[in-house]
Amino acid sequence: MSYFFFIAPIFRYFRRNHSLSLRYEMEEILQSSKFTLIISFSHLLFFGWYIVNTILIRQLGEAFFKNFLNYTVARGVYCTVPTYSLGIVFIGFKSLRHLNIQRHNRIQTTVQIKSTGREGAKNYENVISSYWNSISHGLDGMH
């Protein structure tokens, strides 16, 4: 599923101009919105299928099912067991797993910092020194 066409510019703005925690929150909102959209449309699809089949069973009636007993059983089973509710659960699991894999892959391609060996030690030193420099520059502005 793609972005909501009216929300995408807002997400792009926040992704560029705000803190990491805000970008993380916006990414979480985007992912939960995608998940909700998938579940809602799946539910509508299953419910539509259910309604169409119910109308078909009523219209075809006994002629299709050969006798009144089979017709009554078919209507009773179809009306009392809404199988779309069971299907939504599996679609939810599958779509959530898919969204999490996409997110994990996007993070892995974006954030790749070596953490072992000489290169890992150098990266650690650079991160710590940049952190302390940002704090010390903030304290210099206070004096």
Provide the pLDDT for residue 28. 84
Provide the pLDDT for residue 16. 57
**Residues 6 or more apart whose Cβ sits within 8 Å of residue 85:** none
Separation of alpha carbons 110 and 102, rounded Å: 12
Provide the pLDDT for residue 95. 92
Q: For residues 38 and 1, is the Cβ–Cβ distance under 8 A?
A: yes
Provide the pLDDT for residue 94. 93
* Mean model confidence pLDDT for the chain: 76
CA 46 to chain centre: 19
Provide the pLDDT for residue 97. 93
Q: Using alpha carbons only, give the angle 99, 104, 107 rounded to the nearest 5 degrees.
A: 125
Nearest to 25 by CA among 39, 14, 9: 14
The one-digit pLDDT tens for each residue of the chain (143 residues) are 455 555 566 556 555 556 667 777 788 888 888 899 999 898 888 888 888 877 887 787 777 778 888 888 877 777 766 677 778 888 889 999 999 898 888 777 666 666 677 887 887 788 888 878 777 765 555 55
Provide the pLDDT for residue 103. 85
DSSP code, position 5: T
What the block records as the tokens of 109 is 């391609």
| 3-state helix/strand/coil string of 32-86 | HHHHHHHHHHHHHHHHHHHHHHHHHHHHHHHHHHCCHHHHHHHHHHHHHCCHHHH
Provide the pLDDT for residue 98. 93
**Residues 6 or more apart whose Cβ sits within 8 Å of residue 50:** 78, 82, 83, 84
Provide the pLDDT for residue 13. 58
